[in-house]
Amino acid sequence: MKKAADVIIIGGGINGCAAAYYLAKRGVKDVIVLEAAKSIGHGGSSRNGGGVRQSGRDPRELPYAMYAVKHMWPTLSEELGVDVEYCQAGNLRLGKTEAHLEKLNRLAQNARNAGVDVRMIDAKEVKEINPYLSDEIIGASWCPTDGHANPMLTTLAYYKRAVELGVSFVKDAPVKAIQKVKGKARKVITADGTVFEGETMILAAGYESREIARTVGIDIPMTRYFEEALVTEMQPPMFDQMLGTADADFYGHQAKHGSFVFGSECGLEEAADMPLTDTRTSSLTMSAGCRAIMGYIPALKDAKIVRSWGGWLDMCIDEVPVISPVEEVPGLILACAFTGHGFGTAPSVGLMLSQMVVGEETVVDISALRYNRFKADR
Amino acid sequence: MISVDDKLKEIGKYIPQPDDDMLVCRCEEVTKGEIRQAVHAGMFTIEEIRRFLRCGMGLCQGQTCGKLVKGIVARELKVSPAELEPAVSRAPMRPMEMEILGRDGGDK
């Protein structure tokens, strides 16, 4: 087994796999990716709703979210040789009350200020776009350039292409610490004591990145949050848009094979404190999710739920990720705290991580996401 | 620790077999050949195979093909099926209509 390389990537999720792929694509093939689980993409990468979204994003994230939608997602299936099920059919955020519409209007205004085409539409137009929705809906915000893709396929497609291009992956290799040698990040130590060595390291291990970064004196203020999803049996093709609500009580879409995938909450998530390895779903969330979904898409009341799943989000204190090299630890690049919306941006984040490794300017400016932006506010 | 490079070298190249077009997962129409090729692309766990091919993700949730898929993956990896972790079973136990599942009284 290879234990030394130019680049060591800690975390075989979508950001780690995408970074490995874009490095290999540009000729940097001496790369090792260490994944803690036995399966690639076992964390948030296979536990998310598949949104490829620009609307509703923080202005600091928008440039690279928009870059991915414009320049990367449309050709990704072709590039990776796997159909990642990207579908750019728009995002409807639905409202049932005047207070909902006020909130949606505010979000739409923010998005327009940042250069994203999001507009408010009335009940009639909502029905024209999606005839299956409830008559209780009085309006929505509409972003025609948003969409969705299959997160599990996208992650594994990046992995498969990276393997084909010569990247070395090691699974079941949880990292415990990074060690400096002569002031530079140099060694990566796994739980069983194996030492890997590299010139540059990318730390993209979700919430677990926090413990690992601490071993070189860097702390990223993030917490963890448990979120669940449910999946219906296959349905005839109904609609292609991504749906969300002003109330944020559910979101989801119909996947290519016919199942609907819906994220939902029961309201008790803040207090979830199981170990990170425990991703069993709660007995309350599925039922709460079903009620919320039927309130907006009554046509689905007879659809059977076949499966539910849960996963941990790495929530940053200011709700945008940390993507930057670390000055105090030369050779270390952080990519973590994606706060539950890292899937849609993974292509551009992977590309920018590969650019950081070779010391090139990133395709868009992301200096607002630096690791040292957190200041005391008292 | 599982080195993907070492394992791929150990199991050798994918060699087509005469019954590769046999349907193994009937719900999602996945063939034996697709499963074997996925193993040679680096998918070594039942979870990865499921996520990549959808076998066992359909209406029966793998109750019909689960064992078959495991046997094919194990043979391809040159390990005993007992060494492979089964896919996680997920709630609900049986497919259930949203209207019924939503009626747990939790909102009252």
Q: DSSP secondary structure string, A224-245?
A: EEEEEEEEEPP------SEEEE
CB atoms within 10 A of CB B89: 11
Domain final residue, candidates A284, A316, A348? A316
Residue A70 in any domain: the answer is: no
Q: Mind listing the pLDDT tens digit of every residue in chain A (378 residues)? A: 999 999 999 999 999 999 999 999 999 999 999 999 999 999 999 999 999 999 989 999 999 999 999 999 999 999 999 999 999 999 999 999 999 999 999 989 988 998 999 999 999 999 999 999 999 999 999 999 999 999 999 999 999 999 999 999 999 999 999 999 999 999 999 999 999 999 999 999 999 999 999 999 999 999 999 999 999 999 999 999 999 999 988 999 999 999 999 998 888 998 999 999 999 998 899 999 999 999 999 999 999 999 999 999 999 999 999 999 999 999 999 999 999 999 999 999 999 999 999 999 999 999 999 999 999 988
Q: Tell me, what's the pLDDT at A283?
A: 86
Task: Write out residues 60-99 of B within 8 Å (CB-CB) of A.
Answer: 61, 85, 90-92, 95-99
Task: Give pLDDT, residue A286.
Answer: 93
Rounded Cα distance between A21 and A35, Å, is 15
Contact B59 A192 (CB under 8 A): no
Q: Does the beta-carbon distance from A307 to B98 stay under 8 Å?
A: no
**Pair (A268, A288) in one structural domain:** yes
Global pTM?
Answer: 0.97
B42, A306: Cβ pair inside 8 Å? no
The answer to whether the Cβ–Cβ distance between A301 and B99 falls below 8 Å is yes
What is the H or E stretch that residue A211 is in? helix A209-214
Do A301 and A233 fall into the same domain?
A: yes
Q: Are residues A305 and A269 in the same domain?
A: yes
Does A333 lie in the same domain as A245? no
Task: Give the confidence band of B105 by pLDDT, cuts at 50, 70, 90.
Answer: confident
Confidence of residue B19 (pLDDT cuts 50, 70, 90): very high
Say what the pLDDT of residue A110 is. 87
In sequence order, the 6+-apart residues with CB closer than 8 A to the CB of A263 are A48, A49, A227, A228, A229, A250, A251, A252, A289
Query: Exposed (0-12), middle (13-18) or buried (19+): which is B9, by Cβ within 10 Å?
Result: exposed
Q: Under an 8 A CB cutoff, do B52 and A306 touch?
A: no
Q: How close B88 gets to chain A, by Cα (Å)?
A: 10
| A26 and A139, same domain (yes or no) | no
Please give the pLDDT value at position B107.
66
ipTM of the shown complex: 0.95
* CATH number of the domain enclosing A299: 3.30.9.10
- Residue B29 DSSP code: T
CA separation for the pair A154, A18 (Å, rounded): 9
Number of structural domains (chain A) is 2
Asked if residue A264 is part of any domain, the answer here is yes
Chain B CB contacts of A308 under 8 Å are 90-92
Output the domain CATH number for residue A196. Answer: 3.50.50.60
Interface contacts A/B by beta carbons within 8 Å: 127
Give the end of a domain, one of A267, A294, A316. A316
Both A227 and A364 in one domain: the answer is no
**Which residue shows structure tokens 């590969």?**
A354
Mutation target among A2, A39, A132, A176 for the B interface, most CBs of B within 10 A: A39
φ and ψ of B77, to 5 deg:
-85, -5
How does pLDDT run across B41-87, given as a tens digit for each residue?
999 999 999 999 999 888 788 888 999 999 999 999 999 999 999 88
Write out the DSSP string of A163-204.
HHTT-EEEES--EEEEEEETTEEEEEEETT--EEEEEEEEE-
Contact B102 A291 (CB under 8 A): yes
Residue B26 near chain A (CB below 8 Å): no
Q: Are A106 and A206 contained in the same domain?
A: no
Q: Is A48 helix (H, G, I), strand (E, B) or coil?
A: coil
Q: Which residue has the tokens 């898929």?
A: B69
Closest CA to A92 of A49, A144, A44: A144
Q: How far is B53 from chain A (nearest CA, A)?
A: 9
Q: How many CB atoms lie within 10 A of CB A144?
A: 16
Regarding whether A239 and A138 lie in a shared domain, the answer is yes
Q: What is the pLDDT of residue A53?
A: 94
Question: Does B5 sit within 8 Å of A171, measured CB to CB?
Answer: no
Domain hosting residue A327, numbered range: 4-48+152-221+318-374
8 Å CB contact between A337 and A209? yes
